[in-house]
Amino acid sequence: MGKGSGYGKVILFGEHFVVHGVPGIVSAIDSSTDAEVKKASKLTIRDERKTAKGYSEEKRLQQIESIERMLKAMDLDPKMPLDIWIGGSLPGFSGLGASAASSVAIARAISEELNLNLSNEKINSVAYEGEKAYAGNPSGIDNTAATYGGVMWFKKNPAGGQDLVEKIHLKRPVEIVIGSTGKVANTKAMVEGVAERKKANPAKYDPLFKQAESLAVAGRKAIEAGDLKKVGDLMNENHRILQEIGVSSKELDLLVDMARKQGAFGAKLTGGGGGGCMVALTPGKDLQGKVASAFKTAGYEFIATKIGVVTY
Ligand code: PMV
């Protein structure tokens, strides 16, 4: 039997914009998806992740397509019969890179089961192929975070070359609370929607994409300087432009407001939006606890964790 894992992530700056070549900042979180793979006589997928209601059913076809794409990218028969188990501590909530984490986990488990000895670089590129089934035209930020962990600056293949990936060093790990709307979102539809609206309305969208770039640059400086108040303010700004490009939702805005009212330094949706999750920057155990208990009281699921704990 082959085994593998992939990290979940939160995007601190630049989801959606990153698909179009704007830099983004991502942090892996200390929850991962695990996979076990065995050669078999037919394809079986046992998905035992804790998920938002309807997540597995909604993603089922994309999951099968993703596995076929990955097998092809490994020069294997895309219809190869395998017994695949998926579990681990990362919940199947939209926005946490759960699809990328599962792709990395499955690719690693296949590599081990078939003695392919694939490098991390190859696993990352195979998982990127798998991500296409879930995201259509993914940036690659999720699979890169799922493969390597850490906090990183990511820019999709500048000038048509390799993706630019740089480590970002935090002064210390910082507490965050991830709130889940409980709504399953379709990343592919969200990414396509942004691309269509951008094309139809460049006068509105081009300046927003410029702002997203400035926010990522300023966010990186503030993170590296340990200026968490500034990071929070910039995250708030990032949420505002995500609202403007039409990827937030009533529940996301509600959770973002709730976190800010409890004193979060900043809060924004994370990932594809349209449902899924948001992230609040809550330095210190007390503030983290306050935001987490507000979510709990209001009946929302949450993950209280840290950015900067999972290292390369
Ligand atoms: O919703 P998630 O966890 O799949 O994150 C998607 C992030 C996007 O920027 C919207 C898409 C991408 O490929 O970067």
What length is written for the chain? Answer: 312
Say if residue 297 is in the same domain as residue 153.
no
* For range 128-157, the mean pLDDT: 95
Is the same domain home to 60 and 117? yes
Q: What is the pLDDT of residues 148-177, one digit of tens each?
A: 999 999 999 887 789 999 999 999 999 999
* Assigned domain for 201 exists: yes
278 and 199 in one domain?
yes
Domain housing 45: 2-168
Decide the pairing of beta strands 151-155 and 174-180.
Answer: unpaired
Q: Where are the alpha helices (DSSP H) in 114-227?
A: 120-135, 141-148, 187-200, 202-225
* Of 34, 77, 83, 142, catalytic: 142
Q: Does residue 142 carry a catalytic annotation?
A: yes
Ligand 1 nearest atom to the CA of residue 100, by list position = 4
**What pLDDT is attached to residue 93?**
87
CB atoms within 10 A of CB 253: 16
- Evaluate whether residue 33 is within a structural domain: yes
Out of 125, 148, 168, a domain closes at 168
Q: Would you say residue 88 lies in a domain?
A: yes
Retrieve residue 251's tokens: 């529940």
Last-in-domain residue among 168, 195, 230: 168
Residue at 67 is within a domain = yes
**pLDDT tens, residue by residue, 257-272:** 999 999 999 999 999 9
Instruction: Point out the domain boundary residue: 168, 196, 223.
Output: 168
The verdict on residue 203 lying in a domain is: yes
Does residue 141 sit in the same domain as residue 183? no
CA of 271 to the centre of ligand 1 (A): 5
CA–CA separation, 38 and 112 (whole Å): 10
Centre of ligand 1 to C-alpha 190, Å, is 9
Residues 120 and 182 reside in one and the same domain: no
When pLDDT is cut at 50, 70 and 90, the band that residue 312 belongs to is low
Q: Span 18-45, mean pLDDT?
A: 96
Whether 116 and 162 share a structural domain: yes
The sign of the dihedral angle between the CA atoms of 228, 229, 232, 237 is: negative
Q: Tell whether the model's pLDDT for residue 27 goes beyond 80.
A: yes
Q: Higher confidence at residue 59 or residue 12?
A: 12
If you measure from the C-alpha of residue 41 to the centroid of ligand 1, how many angstroms do you get, rounded to a whole number? 34
Verify that 241 and 219 share a domain, yes or no. yes
Q: How far is the CA of 115 from the centre of ligand 1 (A)?
A: 31
Span 11-37, average pLDDT: 97
With respect to residue 312, please indicate whether it lies within any of the assigned structural domains: no
Structural domain total, the chain: 2
* Ligand 1: nearest atom to the Cα of 96: 3
Tell me how far CA of residue 32 lies from CA of 10, 141, 231, 245, 261, in angstroms.
12, 16, 25, 30, 30
Per residue in 295-310, pLDDT tens? 999 999 999 999 998 7
The residue written with tokens 């820019």 in the block is 155
pLDDT of residue 40: 96
Question: Ligand 1: which residue has its CA nearest to atom 13?
Answer: 138
Nearest one of 164, 228, 230, 190 to 22, comparing CA atoms:
164
153/184 same-domain check: no
266 Cα to the center of ligand 1, angstroms: 20
Closest atom of ligand 1 relative to the 14 alpha carbon = 9
Same domain, 68 and 163: yes
pLDDT at residue 311, as a whole number: 67
Q: What is the pLDDT of residue 310?
A: 79
Pairing assessment for the beta strands 82-88 and 44-47 based on DSSP bridges = parallel
Q: Within 6 Å (CB) of ligand 1, which residues are found?
A: 15-16, 18-19, 94-97, 99, 135, 138-139, 141-142, 187, 191, 271-272, 276
pLDDT of residue 57: 85
pLDDT over 90, % of the chain: 90
Average pLDDT over residues 209-229: 98
The least confident of 48-52, 88-92, 230-234 is 48-52
Mean model confidence pLDDT for the chain: 95
Nearest CA to ligand 1 atom 14: 139
The CATH number covering residue 140 comes to 3.30.230.10
Report the atom number in ligand 1 closest to the C-alpha of 16: 9
Question: E strands of the chain, at which residues?
Answer: 2-13, 24-39, 44-47, 82-88, 151-155, 164-167, 174-180, 266-270, 277-281, 301-307
Best mutation site among 20, 93, 139 for ligand 1, i.e. most ligand atoms within 8 A of its Cβ? 139
**103 and 214 assigned to the same domain:** no
